[in-house]
């Protein structure tokens, strides 16, 4: 009843805390889950995963330059995020994060497995989970039957509290961005609003930021679109409370 959606693109940043090798190995655990999956993979590493293609796993080759935000890159004159890891939080990394809803849109349009709900899971999210590999895979498989109408997404901060940060250059943790899902019709609405908000911010402020910041701005204008659940942190509760 759910299709899992994810994506992986390389050579967009440098993250000393996570090697590409480890990220790939964590992604392969996601690919082992015995539920429908549509996975978008960078053409440069596609062959690394082709053996995982099967009746429940559709792998789609992509190029990062195909992301719609790339055509706006020369407008980002004010891109200056306050980050503890600026080599990770690059313009291209922001493009990838903000494109999650577009990959969801593409998966819905394909709807290879004829499901009414879709769930985004970050490809290498296993690194934040405190469990063995088999348990992690089982947690993914349990998500198959969890169906919601609205946008189901975990929140860390109190959504009714103004934390007095500048959402345009500071990371906010109102939402955890690694997992979200819901009914395909509302996910399309969410994708539309995310794209509209990203383009508006680029054209008006000449910058871009983390997807969770974009989503909080959308939430403030459209709270009824969301069905939020509490997460204790970026950990197992992202799946367990979904």
CATH of the domain at 88: 3.90.550
Q: DSSP alpha helices (H): ranges in 40-149?
A: 91-98, 100-110, 133-142
Our count of domains for the chain comes to 1
Please state, in angstroms and rounded to a whole number, the distance separating the CA atoms of residues 2 and 106. 15
Sign of the torsion angle spanned by Cα atoms 141, 144, 146, 148 = positive
Q: What is the pLDDT averaged over residues 158-180?
A: 96
- Say yes or no to pLDDT of 196 above 70: yes
In this structure, of 8-12, 196-200, 219-223, the range with the lowest mean pLDDT score is 8-12
How far is residue 107 from each of residues 38, 66, 179, measured CA to CA in Å? 7, 16, 15
Contacts of 198 (CB under 8 A, 6+ apart): 69, 98, 208, 214
Cβ-based neighbour number of residue 79 at 10 Å: 18
Structure token digits, residue 139: 């947690």
Range 77-98 average pLDDT: 94
The answer to which of 39-48, 80-89, 230-239 has the lowest mean pLDDT is 80-89
Neighbours of 158 (CB within 10 A): 10
The confidence score (pLDDT) of residue 16 equals: 65
Give residue 17's pLDDT.
Answer: 67
Instruction: State the pLDDT at residue 85.
Output: 86
- DSSP class of residue 82 equals B
pLDDT score at 191: 98
- Look up the domain containing 85 and give its range: 2-240
Task: Check whether 14 has a pLDDT greater than 80.
Answer: no
pLDDT of residue 21: 87
pTM of this prediction?
Answer: 0.96
Split at pLDDT 50, 70, 90, the class of 65 is very high
Q: Is the pLDDT of residue 18 over 90?
A: no
């Amino acid at each position: 009843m759910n299709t899992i959606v994810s994506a992986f693109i390389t050579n967009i940043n440098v993250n000393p805390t996570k090697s590409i090798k480890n990220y790939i190995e964590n992604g392969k655990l996601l690919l082992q889950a015995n539920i429908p999956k549509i996975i978008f993979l960078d053409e440069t590493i596609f062959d690394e995963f082709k053996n995982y293609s099967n009746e429940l796993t559709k792998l789609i080759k992509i190029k990062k330059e195909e992301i719609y935000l790339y055509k706006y890159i020369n407008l980002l004159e004010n891109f200056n995020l306050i980050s503890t890891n600026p080599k990770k939080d690059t313009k291209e990394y922001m493009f990838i994060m903000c494109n999650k809803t577009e990959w969801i849109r593409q998966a819905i349009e394909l709807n290879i497995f004829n499901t009414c709900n879709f769930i985004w899971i970050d490809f290498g999210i296993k690194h934040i989970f405190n469990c063995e590999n088999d348990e992690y895979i089982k947690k993914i498989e349990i998500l198959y039957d969890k169906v919601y109408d609205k946008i189901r997404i975990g929140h860390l901060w109190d959504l009714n509290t103004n934390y007095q940060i500048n959402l345009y250059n500071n990371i906010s943790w109102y939402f955890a961005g690694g997992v979200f899902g819901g009914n395909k019709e509302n996910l399309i609405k969410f994708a539309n609003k995310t794209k509209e908000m990203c383009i508006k911010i680029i054209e008006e402020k000449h910058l871009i930021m983390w997807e969770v910041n974009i989503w909080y701005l959308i939430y403030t204008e459209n709270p009824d679109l969301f069905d939020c659940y509490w997460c204790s942190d970026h950990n197992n509760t992202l799946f367990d409370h979904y």
